[in-house]
Amino acid sequence: MTIRKKTLFIIFVTTLFLVLLLYGISEAFFLNSFANLEDRDVLKNVDRAQLALSSDIDQLNSTETDWASWNDTYAFIMNRNQNYISANLNVESLSNLRLNLMLFVDPSGQLVFSRMLNLDTKRETPVPKNFLKNLFKKGTLVCRNESDMFKGIVLLPEGPLLISSQPILTSEGKGPVKGTLIIGRYLDSELKHLSEMTQLPIVSQRINDSNMSSDFVAAQSSILKGKPVLVNPLSENSIAGYALIKDVYGDPALILRVDLPRDIYRQGQSVVYYFSIYILLIGLIFAIVILFLLDKTFLSRIAQLILDVHNIGLSGDARCEFP
């Protein structure tokens, strides 16, 4: 191998090594930075989803206050008058409030009147058998004092239910308490509304659900060990954030998932790719320039010297002229 070829080989190998080293460093640094930015963005959007759900429960509770602390409701729980039902508990009223159900319960916990609505079909549906029993399975939601109030999520066989429970009082907010009004929205349909409102794909699954998908199983394992929010890449194109949602009694009930595209991470990959291309081009240009300068300054003369020495050796004439 000639000196020129050896020099070219050494410069090429050195340049390639430096390019690969810079690529590795840039990938570790840039991609790690973009991954951290992606995680923060996911966490921010999970917070948005949780806040939207919390605000929805607060709005449901505020709606109930208007109904529970009302003279007409106070009179109805005592006299069951039909005019109240016709004027206030019709399909249109519940649909406009996005309510799946309204339950009027007496102080002993017995159901006085109920109305259940399918919000998709806008049709009244019968209250499922043992509905009240399942609703009170983990604890009573009956209000016996003026200050009693319950709001949150209850897990039912029909699906998770957002509920608000308040004592039935006069319009002045005074008692004595004549019963409890419970209103609710099924979470599955409400998540569609929240997804449209926040522009975030939001889904949920019950804790310890036998049909839980694999990513929820992994998230549940981490969340129940004390990590309240988890970020997990699902693929090269999507990433998800998971959060634990507790029920009205403060027990783990659901895992909420927010799906997001990996735009930030893909941007980081593009930055690393183009940065590597630029480094490679700069390395090639550097190698060519160095080789050209070495050739003009040293290599061509050394090559000529080697050739002359070789010629001397062949001819035995030591009078060859050197440049």
Tokens of 105: 């319960």
SS (H, E, C) 101-162: EEEEECCCCCEEEEEEEECCCCEEECCCCCHHHHHCCCCCCCCCCCCCCEEEEEEECCEEEE
pLDDT of residue 32: 78
Residue spans per domain, the chain: 69-186
Q: Which residue has the tokens 């889904």?
A: 203
Give pTM, 2 decimals. 0.77
Q: Is CATH 3.30.450.20 correct for 69-186?
A: yes
pLDDT at 182: 96
DSSP code for 321: P
pLDDT at residue 183 above 60?
yes
Residues 56-72 pLDDT 10s: 999 999 999 999 999 99
Residue 216 one-letter amino acid: F
pLDDT for position 4: 65
Average pLDDT over every residue of 165-185: 93
Quick one: pLDDT at residue 322? Answer: 46
According to the model, what pLDDT value does residue 285 have? 82
Give the residues across from 267 on adjacent strands: none
As a whole number, the mean pLDDT across the chain is 85
pLDDT tens-digit map of 5-27: 777 777 778 877 877 787 777 77
Per-residue pLDDT band for 319 (boundaries 50, 70, 90) equals: low
Strands annotated E in the chain: 101-105, 111-118, 123-125, 150-156, 159-167, 180-186, 202-206, 229-233, 238-246, 252-261
Residue 2 has pLDDT above 70, yes or no: no
Quick: pLDDT tens for 27-37: 777 777 878 88
DSSP conformation class of 29: I
- Could you give the 3-state DSSP secondary structure of residue 169? strand
What does DSSP say about strands 229-233 and 180-186: parallel, antiparallel, or unpaired? unpaired
C-beta atoms surrounding 10 within 10 Å: 11
What pLDDT, on a 0 to 100 scale, did the predictor assign at position 309? 67
129, 116 Cβ separation under 8 angstroms: no
Q: Which tens digits make up the pLDDT trace of 101-139?
A: 999 999 888 889 999 999 888 899 988 888 888 998 888
Q: What is the mean pLDDT of residues 143-148?
A: 91
Predicted confidence (pLDDT) at residue 240 exceeds the cutoff of 90: yes
